[in-house]
């Protein structure tokens, strides 16, 4: 019976350690999703992309860019 108690005690320590590690990883992921992701998403929405000038390659090939 004594060995059985030690086994469950070691198993309990292992489970508690793994539970703390998983909780720490979960907290990091939740922090990234709630704090950093909205600011990154907002920055990407505010950033405007300029349209591509389709005539630019033709002007470079003709030699006169100021046409």
Contact between residue 26 and residue 19 where contact means Cβ atoms under 8 Å apart: no
- State residue 45's pLDDT score: 80
Give dist(CA 21, CA 19) in Å, integer.
5
Task: Give the span between the Cα atoms of 12 and 26, in whole angstroms.
Answer: 21
- Confidence (pLDDT) at 61: 53
Q: How far is CA 2 from the centre of its chain?
A: 48
* Tens of pLDDT, residue by residue, the chain (67 residues): 566 666 668 888 888 899 999 999 999 999 888 888 888 888 878 887 666 666 655 555 555 555 5
pTM: 0.47
- Alpha carbon distance 10, 14 (integer Å): 6
């Amino acid at each position: 019976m004594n060995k059985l108690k030690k086994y469950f005690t070691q198993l309990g320590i292992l489970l508690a350690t793994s539970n703390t590690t998983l909780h720490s990883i979960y907290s990091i992921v939740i922090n990234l999703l709630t704090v950093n992701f909205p600011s990154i998403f907002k920055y990407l929405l505010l950033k405007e992309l300029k349209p591509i000038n389709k005539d630019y390659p033709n002007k470079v090939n003709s030699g006169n860019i100021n046409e």
